[in-house]
Amino acid sequence: MLEAYNPGQLVQDSIALGQPIVFVSINYRVSAYGGLLGAQAIEVGATNTGILDQRLALQWVKKHIYDFGGDPDKVTIYGQSAGGGSVVGQLVIEGQKPEGLFSGAFVSSGAFGWHYGRDAYLGYQNTLYNLTNCVDSSDPVECMRSVPEADMWTAVNSIGSDMFGSNFGPTFGDDAIPLDPKDLIRQGKVANVPLMVGTTTDEFTGFVTYPLNTSANGANYLGSSFLTLTPKLGSTLWPLYANFSDSEILPSIANASFVPTYPPAFLRTAAASNDILFHANREFLLNAFVNQSRPVYGYSFGQQTDAIASSATQAKFGVTHSGDTPWWFGSTISATRGGQQLGTDMRRALISFVHTGNPSTKDLEWEDYAQSKSSIMSFKSNSTGMTSNTNRRAQLDAALGFLG
């Protein structure tokens, strides 16, 4: 998986185009090390430590990138999945405390952890206090700071994780992110920089548990899986997907060259989950930036790799989470299935965005969301181009309503 993020081809392409870029990757704390939750943690400054690690790294880049041949005034931040959520965190911190740390942002399949009922996770934090023998301390966070690292590591890992890999993560209510980032963005407290934001067509198919044989299974899954987003999620949102045909729900799966073995309830649950966690976040950012007259460029990626398309086991997942990453980076696992030119076009668009704040190139006209009247770039071999952003419109609007 890490090979997908190898930037070698992207950097080589930038040099060949006469628009060289310097690629910087950073380390930051994650899981409980990257931020605890709740009032006690906020009081002692133990929240959002991973997000603040990232900001410290951006300050370092701003100060030193010139020494590596870079331009401190042309820094673009990128994140995929949880990293996309981190980019949103940096956007709102920069919006409140501007330091000019970056000139553009790219959110790829961004999952915003803040829109969940994070109080649901406090039980895991109390478990961590118990496992480290700090639960009865007047200051359990300070107590944990004295726990030997090996014991702390064992405690954190023994708690397990949710379906997304962690029971800890970014939150709001502290000095760095005082309010839900969505509210800060609505208030205009967000970095005034161009934004690229997009998703794959079938983000969630690899996460949905199997089997889901009936509509009741699907509704129950939605109602129980999204971390107290709302107990009414299954009963309210599911009916909007129940009567779709397979091809309307997930065309890249339903139109495959074989008959998928997954039942209809799986397809509908995956589509609803796609919209709740990923597609609705994309829509929120597109609409918010347009409403504030800020340039924003949306995309949807719908191309499978050769390896996935030739495997019945993998192909039934469609173009799932992280499916676009090899094309953006030009890594060795990207496909030859008509994908060479597609990957070249995508990397050139990204390079253009880094240099100019606009992803359009001489071969690919990519209009911003307002200029294009709510159209996004659809990336697929032999059919890439702007397309009206109307797929499952009513369902997306409903999912946006649940995000608050």
Catalytic, out of 14, 25, 31, 81: 81
- Reading the block at residue 197, the tokens are 């934001």
CB under 8 Å to 121, separation ≥6 — which residues?
Answer: 37, 167, 168, 227
Could you tell me if 329 and 106 are in contact, meaning their C-beta atoms sit under 8 angstroms apart?
Answer: no
CA within 13 Å, CB half, 108: 20
Q: Are 197 and 285 in contact (CB under 8 A)?
A: yes
Q: Which amino acid is at 250?
A: L
Q: DSSP readout, 332-345?
A: TTS--SSHHHHHHH
Under 8 Å between Cβ of 351 and 390: no
Contacts with 331 (C-beta within 8 Å, 6 or more apart), sequence order: 3, 4, 5, 6, 8, 9, 325
Task: Say which residues have a Cβ less than 8 Å from residue 307's Cβ, sequence separation at least 6.
Answer: 314, 333, 335
Q: Please confirm, yes or no, whether 381 is among the known catalytic residues.
A: no
- Distance (Å, whole) CA 369 – CA 371: 6
> Which tokens go with 341?
């030119």
Residue type, 186: R
If phi > 0 it is left, if psi is from -120 to 50 it is alpha, else beta; for residue 35 that is: left
The token duo for 157 is: 């890992």
Whether the Cβ atoms of residue 248 and residue 233 lie closer than 8 Å to each other: no
Task: List the catalytic residues.
Answer: 81
